[in-house]
Amino acid sequence: MGKKFETIAVRTRIKQTPEKENSSPLFLTSGFTFDNAEHMRAAFTDEVEANIYSRFSNPSVKEFEDKMALLEGTDAAYATATGMAAVFASFMAFLKAGDHVVSARAIFGSTHTLITKYLPKWGIEHSYFPAEGWSASPRESLRTGGDGSNLHGIEKLIRKNTKMIFVETPSNPGLEIFDLESIGKIAKRHKLIYHVDNCFATPYLQQPVKYGADIITHSATKFIDGQGRVLGGAVCGKKELIKEIYLFCRNTGPALSPFHAWILSKSLETLAVRMDRHCDNALKLAEHLSKHNEIGTVNYPFLASHPQYKTAKKQMKAGGGVITFTIKSSPKDESRKADGYERAKKFMDALDMISLSANLGDTRTIATHPASSTHSKLSEAEKKAAGITPGLIRVSVGLEHIDDIIDDIEIALKSSKK
């Protein structure tokens, strides 16, 4: 019987050195030496497995990659300098001019910019689902299909030149939940690369490979690090696909720092216990706010009111560490037609303990106003389609005591009403 998730995260490590250290050492070196000229030649022709240069490979980075592959249940993994480097490499290693990508509309702002602004420069086209005209937002469109099952629209977008389906679930910041199994079947039927961004869930809460995903990307900067210290990314998947990503990154340079890899590998040792607390706190906060008379809507995958609640329960162990909500407009907001922006701004300014940051997945609770920060580059129509309203607040729920988190939010709500 195989080892459990927590044990794999703690015990997976590179080979112990002659020093017999209990904790893996940090290999902070740019290059490596060879026994002789023949050994060096063989290493460069891939006849022998050897470290050459830390842009190519490094023992500290390899330990992190090995852990990520095991935890995601994939053949292999490759680590990158950031999460966006992982997403970009996962597109560019497989797409060329004339190709087409089908993507969920509800995705991170930088990923949206990559798909809509930069991929077209290389002649790569895209289509978003749900398609324009189906609904005012993907959330509403999915609701009409009955808990996120209205995904047949994807197949209508597939062309002869389509090469990949991309989805982010839960999405940032709307927390859309897409049915991984249903999309996986579509991708397999059309022989497409199935690419899933699993950043919000982490491999502890969700393993897309079980539903047919070929490539799984992560911003390790978030919950995988978990303490707001370092940047990093990872791509997990089939061995032959990861090899293509490795070759692309080896030649273009988005390598993960050995120091950051060492930190991230250590972070994985506590991922399970941290995510348990994040999820417990987030659910309690979501339940509290859902009953609050000053709150408009609350969005959290494991709230029964979430449109894709059943899908979330099917494919996720818990609801994750992020919630979103809107605050009811005050009478003083008439100048902005009560769109919620003014009160949201006052609420953010009134927070005391909770940090204002664009990051998430930290031990510290963080509040973000997506419309004016992480997704500010989107047009008003694009924000509306992604469910990003002027009054939307995203909270990455930390590891503080839940009573203190709720107290800070309550005080800010009262202050913002004045």
The CATH number linked to 370 is 3.90.1150.10
Sign of the C-alpha dihedral computed for residues 210, 386, 175 and 230 taken in this order: positive
82 and 111: one domain? yes
pLDDT at 5: 95
For residues 310 and 358, the answer to whether their CB atoms sit within 8 Å is no
For residues 227 and 361, the answer to whether their CB atoms sit within 8 Å is no
Residue where the block lists tokens 């919950």:
223
H/E stretch holding 38? helix 37-44
Go through 338-358 and write b for each residue having 16 or more CB atoms within 10 A of its CB, e for each that does not.
bebbbbbebbbebbeebeeee
**Three-state secondary-structure class, residue 211:** helix
Q: How far apart are CA 320 and CA 361, in angstroms?
A: 10
For residues 159 and 100, the answer to whether their CB atoms sit within 8 Å is yes
287 and 380: one domain? yes
Q: What angle do CA 72, 166, 200 make, to 5 degrees?
A: 50
Amino acid identity for residue 291 in this structure = K
In this prediction, the residues of the chain whose per-residue pLDDT falls under 70 are 131-150, 152, 330-339, 385-386
For residues 156 and 148, the answer to whether their CB atoms sit within 8 Å is no
Q: How far apart are CA 105 and CA 131, in angstroms?
A: 8
Domains contained in the chain, number: 2
309 and 175: one domain? no
320 and 383: one domain? yes
238 and 350: one domain? no
pLDDT at 332: 58
Q: How far apart are CA 166 and CA 412, in angstroms?
A: 38
Q: How far apart are CA 245 and CA 257, in angstroms?
A: 17
pLDDT at 339: 65
Amino acid identity for residue 182 in this structure = S
Number of neighbours of residue 248 by Cβ within 10 angstroms? 18
256 and 294: one domain? no
Of 240, 268, 296, the position where a domain reaches its end is 268
For residues 408 and 351, the answer to whether their CB atoms sit within 8 Å is yes
Asked whether the whole model's pTM tops 0.85, one would answer: yes
96 and 190: one domain? yes
55 and 141: one domain? yes
Q: How far apart are CA 235 and CA 245, in angstroms?
A: 8
Q: Check which CATH number belongs to the domain holding 58 and give it.
A: 3.40.640.10
Query: Which domain does 11 fall in, by range?
Result: 5-268
CA end-to-end span of the chain = 60
Q: Where does residue 330 fall: left (phi above 0), alpha (psi -120 to 50 degrees), or beta otherwise? A: beta
pLDDT at 418: 77
pLDDT at 143: 38
**Residue 227 CB-density burial (10 A; 0-12 exposed, 13-18 middle, 19+ buried):** middle
Instruction: Find out whether the peptide bond into 138 is cis, omega within 30 degrees of 0.
Output: no
Contacts of 185 (CB under 8 A, 6+ apart): 212
260 and 324: one domain? no
Q: Where are the alpha helices (DSSP H) in 178-257?
A: 180-189, 202-205, 239-252
207 and 291: one domain? no
276 and 194: one domain? no
For residues 415 and 350, the answer to whether their CB atoms sit within 8 Å is yes
Contacts of 317 (CB under 8 A, 6+ apart): 204, 205, 206
Tokens describing residue 301? 């995958």
Amino acid identity for residue 148 in this structure = G
262 and 276: one domain? no
Of 221, 240, 268, the position where a domain reaches its end is 268
Of 268, 289, 321, the position where a domain reaches its end is 268
Q: How far apart are CA 24 and CA 264, in angstroms?
A: 12
